[in-house]
Chains A and B, each alone.
Chain A
Amino acid sequence: MSNAGASKAKRNAVMALAALCIYGAVQLLALSGTLLSYHLQVLSLACINIMLVVSLNLITGFTGQFSLGHAGFMAIGAYLSAALTVFYQLPFLAALVLSGVAAALVGIIIGLPALRLKGDYLAIATLGFGEIIRVVILNIPAVGGPRGFTGIPRYTSFGLTYLIMIITIVVIRNFIDSSHGRACVSIREDETAAASLGINTTYYKVTAFAIGAGFAGVAGGLFSHYLQYISPAPGQIGFLRSIDILIMVVLGGLGNITGSVFSAIVLTLLPEFLRGFAEYRMVIYSVLLILMMLFRPEGIMGKNELSLEALESLVGRMKNRKGMRSDGTS
């Protein structure tokens, strides 16, 4: 048992080291001029998308509550944080925290009634709530109404976004690996059995929903201070964005955090490489989505998290094979 604890500690240390190395490498490449500020911006966007995807994965992948309104929470964070920094000159970090809290609260208010619904009915209801958030924002003249909110300062840097993304992943991963997180997963697996084991299913569904919404709110705050502009268009904060996030979750695998990270990175960078094919982007996405559901509904990586053990066992197997071969020849 202490063995398991030690390997966990080792794994965490390696993960932390890897996170630091990636950050260091990016900064070095930026200093040496290999990565331009445009590249750093794309990387920031990837980090923001990772936050959105991982937070939706907590709700949909781990807790099994299908949400089509995730962009609504992002919208709350995007607009609230912008209003706080522009109108009240609040420090960016404070604005981000408040945005996260506000989005989580709205998540609770929406989640309490909506999470009584199941499956496709829940999906439709969350889509409705997301759109209502959008229409309400559209009708607030102070934040630009239908024209959008302009003149937002650019506070989002790669370093900050990267840090907050790491925090998001660690918090959500640790939550899932706790008794509370297991309660959420048990709801996905079998809600009736979960209730019979003393799990207050409503409480945990709403909790997961609120945590996911909160991080989406923070991601929204980073997004509006990255773009310096936010508009209430469906593709920006509406259901098209919600579906975008959902596609990334599904492609990475429901209930798979590393899968979410990869699919968010790939699907953020891909359009940058395929500039000439911009109009084919959605065609490719939609075909991928359908093929995925038909042939591999569990996502590219399924439920297999990319972990140290997996890598170790892979390396071990390769070594073994080599060893056997050298045995045979000598």
Chain B
Amino acid sequence: MEWYILLQQMINGLALGSIYSLIALGYTMVYGIIKLINFAHGDIYMLGAYFGFYALTKGGLSLGPALLLSMGLAALVGVVLERIAYRPLRSSPRITALITAIGASLFIQSVSQIGFGASFKPFPQAIPFQRIAIGSVFITNRQLIMFGVSIFLMVTLHLIVQYTRIGKAMRAVSMDKEAAMLMGINVDRVISVTFALGSALAAAGGILVGMYYNRIDPYMGVMPGIKGFTAAVLGGIGVIPGAVIGGFMMGIAENLVVALGSSTFRDAVAFAILILVLLLKPAGLLGKRQREKV
């Protein structure tokens, strides 16, 4: 393999990986706080793409406002979802909550299929396509936007979690829900905010990917959802920096497999990584191992 092909796939991998990181952040924050794998997270990412699509086409907005609007709407969906489907099950067995999450995912998919149509829609070209050549390696302006916006959002999230009141409350709840409650933290509100933040990030990812691939469909969230989850597990579920690192690693790994010439195995990579991490290091790269008490 020529070195520049490798380099090219690394660049593609970083761009795609930034999206996986955005999705992984939502999974990891929700899991960190209520120990639920929010299966519907990938579908919120899909909804974000559709919200963006309608804001750009029907609403006539430019990319920036469309992005913000879509993130806001997705945050609302996330909060409502938690409120209706997950909150009543908070003290139920985790499996019950997981089945509910699967149900929520199917629900969003099937309703979207009816509402938006089952076939794919071409995503509007909000920004004219440009390709920048550096030697024999290419970077597109979309990749730069994808990467830039993602990094910006991640830094923003980091600042929120580290330095704001609500961020501190989130960290407290993820460490010990009961203790946080006793300290006067409104746990319900913290969980709502967590869903809102995670959903907003996923929606941004959805729009960016819609632009990148030029197309969106009601099932576009399924595979990225699983890959984002894998990224979260890889980095150590519940650990925010872990989700970012895991996302980039997933993106790069996937594109390296494509570079090796087997694009049909592209999706299998995610599952292989997922299984290997679960079996060999279930706490992930940055996570701490927890023991079960007998």
Residue positions of A touching B, CB distance < 8 A: 66, 113-114, 116-117, 119-121, 123-125, 127-129, 131-132, 135-136, 138-139, 146, 192, 234, 243, 246, 250, 279-283, 285-287, 289-290, 293-294, 297
Contact = CB atoms under 8 A, between A and B. Distances in A.
Nearest to B107: A286
Contacts of B63: none
A234 B118 CA distance: 16
Query: Lowest 3 CB-CB distances: which A-B pairs, in order?
Result: A289-B103, A282-B110, A286-B107
B89 interface: yes
Contacts of A113: 279
Nearest to B31: A120
A239 to B, nearest CB: 8
Given A139-B264, A283-B111, A120 B37 contact: yes
A286 B279 contact: no
Q: Classify the secondary structure of A's interface with B.
A: helix
Contacts of A120: 37, 94-95, 98
A293 B99 contact: yes
Contacts of A127: 226, 271
B107 A283 contact: yes
Contacts of A128: 270-272, 274-275, 278
B107 A116 contact: no
A135 B267 contact: yes
Nearest to A293: B100
B287 to A, nearest CB: 12
A144 B165 CA distance: 57
Contacts of A286: 103-107, 110
Given A246-B99, A290-B103, A124 B113 contact: no
Contact of B271 (A132, A250, A285): A132
B112 to A, nearest CB: 10
Contacts of A250: 99
21 contacts: A117-B279, A121-B278, A121-B282, A123-B95, A124-B229, A124-B274, A125-B274, A125-B279, A128-B272, A128-B275, A129-B271, A131-B226, A131-B267, A131-B268, A139-B262, A280-B110, A282-B106, A282-B110, A283-B111, A285-B106, A286-B110
A302 B222 CA distance: 31
B114 interface: yes
Nearest to B109: A282
Contacts, number: 116
B294 A192 contact: yes
Nearest to B219: A234
A290 B83 CA distance: 13
Q: Classify the secondary structure of B's interface with A.
A: helix
Contacts of A135: 264-265, 267-268, 271
Nearest to A195: B294
B102 interface: yes
A136 B264 CA distance: 9
A124 B278 contact: yes
Contacts of B95: 66, 119-120, 123
Contacts of A66: 95, 98
Contacts of A234: 222
Given A66-B95, A128-B271, A135-B268, A243 B102 contact: yes
B85 interface: yes
Interface in B36-50: 37
Contacts of B102: 243, 246, 289
Nearest to B106: A286
A95 to B, nearest CB: 27
A143 B88 CA distance: 47
B119 interface: no
Contact of A290 (B37, B85, B233, B268): B85
B272 A132 contact: yes
Contacts of B93: 297
B278 A243 contact: no
A279 B103 contact: no
Contact of B110 (A136, A139, A246, A279): A279
B100 A290 contact: yes
A256 to B, nearest CB: 15
A132 B268 contact: yes
A125 B275 CA distance: 6
A293 B89 contact: yes
A297 B95 CA distance: 10
